[in-house]
Every structure is written in C-alpha cells, then in structure tokens.
Chain A
Amino acid sequence: MAGIFVFSEDPALTRQLLTPGLELKRALAQPLVALTRSSAEAGALAGLGADRVVLLRGAGAPEALAPAVAALASAASVVLVGGTLRGKHLAAHVAATLGAGLSTDARTLRVAEGRLETTRILYGGLAVGEESLALPAVATVPPRTFPAPAPAGAAVPVETLDVAPDARVEVLSTQPAAGEGVDIGAATRLVAVGRGFNARADLDLAVDLAGALQAELACTRGIAEDEHWLPVERYIGISGQTVKPELYVAAGLSGQVQHMVGCREAKVIVAINKDERAPIFEAADFGIVGDLYTVLPLLTAALKD
C-alpha cells in the first residue's frame, strides 16, 4: 500500500514525526500511517491525524524490527524514522531493503516534482546541504525538530500486528547510564570545558566559575566519551546536545565545528584559550588569550565582587 509511514521507538518522537508526515500527506495525497510499539501510545496517535495506526507487537530490540517495518512499508512513498541511534539503524535497513535513498538527520522535508527534498548538516556543522531523493525515500528526523501536531478529527481504530524481529543479535543485558538527569538544554548559562584541563580534579576551576555565574557545566565530546570526567548528557555538539543559552563560556576547548554546531545559537559566546589561533576565537563574541589555570580563578573572583 502506498503511503507515508512514520516510526519511532520513542513515543514523543513518533508524535513529532506526524507533523512533517501530515505535510507530506497533503503534498502526495496519500494516507499517513503511524507505526508504534507502545500500546499506550497507539491510542494517542490515533487522534493526531494519522489515517492508520499500527501497533507492532513483537519482542526484541527496536532496530531488530527493521525487516518487519520494511515489509509493512514495502510500497511506501516516504518512510520517516525518529533519528535516535536505534532509529538510524532501522531506517538504513529499511532503505536498503526498499532500494531507496535515505536522508540522515533531515531538518526540513518537502515534496517537489515528485521527489523528497531535505536539508541536513554536512562536514560536522560547517555547511548545510540539500538532498533530492527519488521516491520511495526514507529520512531520519532528529528529536525536537518538529512539535507534535494538535489533535485532529475523529480517532482512527488501532490495528495490531504481530511482527517477528531479527533474532540473530541476542541482547544479553542493558545497563542504564549513570546519568544525573540534568537538562542542559534548559540552562540559561553554561560553562563548557574541553581538553585544555589536565585532570578531572581541575574541573573544580570551572565548577567555581559556574557557581559564580549561576551556570551549569557542559563539555566537549572528549571530556565525556574518552575521559569520562562528566556524564554524556553534558556534552555539546553534533553528536551531543544542542543548546541555546544566553551565555556560553568555553574554557580550554578548541572550538571545532562539531562542537560549535551544538552551541552556535547561544546569545553570547566567551572563549578562554591559551592558543590565540584556536578556532574558538572566531566563534566567540569575547575572548581571553591565556592559561585557564590563571584566568578562571581570576574571573571567578572578579565575578564574585
């Protein structure tokens, strides 16, 4: 059956996908089909403008449902998948099965001349590129790119389908991250740290500055993923968090594009780096060339005065 199919294992993201889905439905005059794994969510989706809601019943990891989703959407014009790690896996499998193009992390989606046109980020954030995809086409959409649609019309009935997951990959155990549940995205001020810090204990300098500024602590990927000095939910960038604070103080971080793409909408960016040629200075409103071990304590003291 032709149609626009949306899927995410994350209920909030499935709802967000309905917004571009409804646009594509209008443009292509085809039904909108929402696939979900959550029975609680299926009812909610039914009242949000989808023409069909299919509850996929079957054990296994979400990406293991890829063959089943591909079979279900075998005649789809467009398949939209929530751009989580698992979603990206599933989407690539579906695209390969359909022999379709796939736009990863599409920020905009529209139909023109019978093709799906998307925009996405390239070169780690240095550029924005447009892609034009033949139908059938698949796209993944990052979380929070679109708001969920408002309730519309009568709720459609929910269909239930038993699906067999790809059982070749056996899940032995799952460990939740030892996160603190902090929402960096909500902070109005951030002090971000990078590899200019020599040791974990030295982050106290940034903690003190954050205290004086009433800011939250953020970091680069290396600090979170390689050093494990701060939890992963605090790292900013293309593969981390996107933030929009009033003030972003970057200390001892170089300002590579993959990091800056996550904070470039900050109102004011301040850089502290000992290397005058560090790219962070081009991305900053104000900067100090100097050793963070000298500058941060002075700055903290000056702000407390």
Chain B
Amino acid sequence: MPNILVCYKWVLDEQDIKVRPEDLGLDTSRAKGKISDFDRNAIEAASLLVEAQGGDVEALSFGTQALKLSVKDVLSRGPGRLTWIGDPAAETADAFVVAQVLAAAIRRAGPYDLILCGEGSSDMFFQQTPVRLAALLGLPCVTFVQKMTWADGVLTATRKLPDGTEEVRVAGPAVVSVLGEMNKPRIPSLKQVLGASKKPSRELPLASLGLAPGDLEPRAVRRTPKGFLMNRRNIVYKESDPAENVARLVASLKAEGL
C-alpha cells in the first residue's frame, strides 16, 4: 500500500494567451489557471494506483497565492490531502529553486514510497523537476513513464525512448515522471467535487522550510518572452455548398503552383 506524493504546477492556460501584434507581448489578462496538463496524468496515475490497491495520495505544489484556486480541483481528482506553498518567489523561480522548495517540503513531510510528477509543465516545459528532486533527495528516478505497476515496494515501469520503450524495475522510494499518454485524467464527478471540500489542505509558509537565501536564488533568470505571430493569409471558404468550397480551394492551390 504505497504512500504516494504527487507534485503539480498551477499554470496559465496557454489557449487563453494572446500575442499583442503591436509589440509581440503576451496578453495573459484573460488567461485562466489550470493544473498543468501532464500533472493531471500524474494525479490520475497516483489515484488509480491507490484506488486499486490501497494507500495514500498527497498532493504538493509550490506557486504564488493563485494556487488557492487549485485546491478544490486537485482534491476532487483523488488525492486525500494537499500541502501547498504560496509565495511570490514562485513568480521568478527557475527549476533549481522549485526543486529546492519541493525537496525541503518533502523532507519535512515524507517519507513517500513514490513521488510522481508530470513530464514537464505546459507553460515552461523545463522537464527538470522530477530529476532534480530525485538528485536532491538521493532517490532513484525513472523518467518518461508510459505504464507502471507497484507491488511489494517495487515499481515496474515502461519508459519511452526515442525509438522504442524500455521496461525498468526500481525499489521504492523513487521519483517518477509520467507522460500524457499514460491515462485519461478523470473529469471529477459531482460527488468527487463535493468530497474535495472535506479533505484537508494546509498552506506551508516558504519561510518555514529552513532554506538558505542561496537556495531561493534562481540560477536561470527569465526575460520577458516575445510572442510568435502567425503571418498567414487566412482565406476561409465557408459557403453552404461543400463542392463550391472545394472548387475554390483547388483553384487557390493551383494559383500557388501546388
């Protein structure tokens, strides 16, 4: 019966981010928050595992105070409790800082048999947190996992490789990063959503983790990103007669020499 920790990041939904044509700045004013896509797969994987064979799932996140918005969503997806660290330092944190913070929180609350993360967050996609966590905690790490089983304290997992897959085995505790194809994250039922508000969640102040100032100093500093603008012709045929649309498209392609 594994004791599982699952880490997640609360990110802006990239579908709501618009590129300002004037200066290629990013307009995030209408962007809603979401649990980063692959972290949803990690949460689902953890929840399925304990629903099948018992055990506990705890969720952990480091972010700004906006994390508060995620509490219900996360807890309705299966985890039994949540620990979160909301601090403005998350705004400029790089993967080095994120790993320091999460590792410090894990050292206080652990040990866990399995620590699950997504393959990478859908905003920054650093793909570093699970491996860094493992290195800081002195645990083995299995990345890019498509399938996994847990029995008698041993994890058996199928990893993705560029040209195939690999089956590996590791005794827990271990850190695992999961891929999007691992499962289909649930859409929480009304019962699960209502149940979520009864589950415990606690906020840990960053200052309580005993980190040195250097641990909170990003090694990689980000500059303001510039949006990529698609410069396309956007000629759309939308008559009610499909044959008419097709004829126009074929004429356009001919005119392009295609």
Contacts and interface: CB of A to CB of B under 8 A. Distances in A.
Interface of A: 61, 63, 66, 84-86, 88-89, 91-93, 95-97, 99-105, 121-134, 137, 166, 168-177, 179, 189, 221, 225-226, 238, 246-247, 256-258, 260-261, 264, 268-271, 276, 279, 281-291, 294-295, 298-299, 302-303
Given A96-B135, A285-B233, A63 B143 contact: yes
Contacts of A170: 168-170
Nearest to B31: A123
B197 to A, nearest CB: 31
B249 interface: yes
A172 B168 CA distance: 5
Given A124-B122, A170-B168, A172-B169, A101 B94 contact: yes
B166 A85 contact: no
B223 A299 contact: no
B22 interface: no
B223 A168 contact: no
Contact of A290 (B219, B245, B258): B245
A127 B165 contact: no
Contacts of B165: 174-175, 177
B243 interface: yes
B81 to A, nearest CB: 27
A277 to B, nearest CB: 11
A264 B140 CA distance: 39
Contacts of A179: 163
Interface stretch (B55-63, B72-80, B124-132, B188-196): B124-132
Contact of A132 (B143, B160, B221, B245): B221
A133 B228 contact: no
B9 to A, nearest CB: 13
B95 interface: yes
Contact of B250 (A128, A173, A256, A299): A299
Nearest to A131: B220
Given A92-B95, A126-B19, A294-B242, A246 B258 contact: yes
Contacts of B95: 92, 95, 101-102
Nearest to A176: B164
B3 to A, nearest CB: 19
B142 A169 contact: yes
Given A92-B131, A133-B220, A238-B125, 16 more contacts: A85-B160, A86-B162, A101-B95, A103-B220, A104-B125, A122-B123, A122-B225, A129-B222, A176-B163, A177-B164, A225-B180, A258-B122, A276-B238, A281-B234, A294-B242, A298-B242
Interface in B166-188: 166-171, 174, 179-181, 184
B66 interface: no
B236 interface: yes
Interface in B195-220: 218-220
Contact of B141 (A89, A122, A221, A287): A89
Contacts of B135: 66, 92-93, 96-97
Nearest to A117: B223
Nearest to B250: A302
Contacts of A137: 219-220
B161 interface: yes
A61 to B, nearest CB: 7
B219 A269 contact: no
A127 B125 CA distance: 12
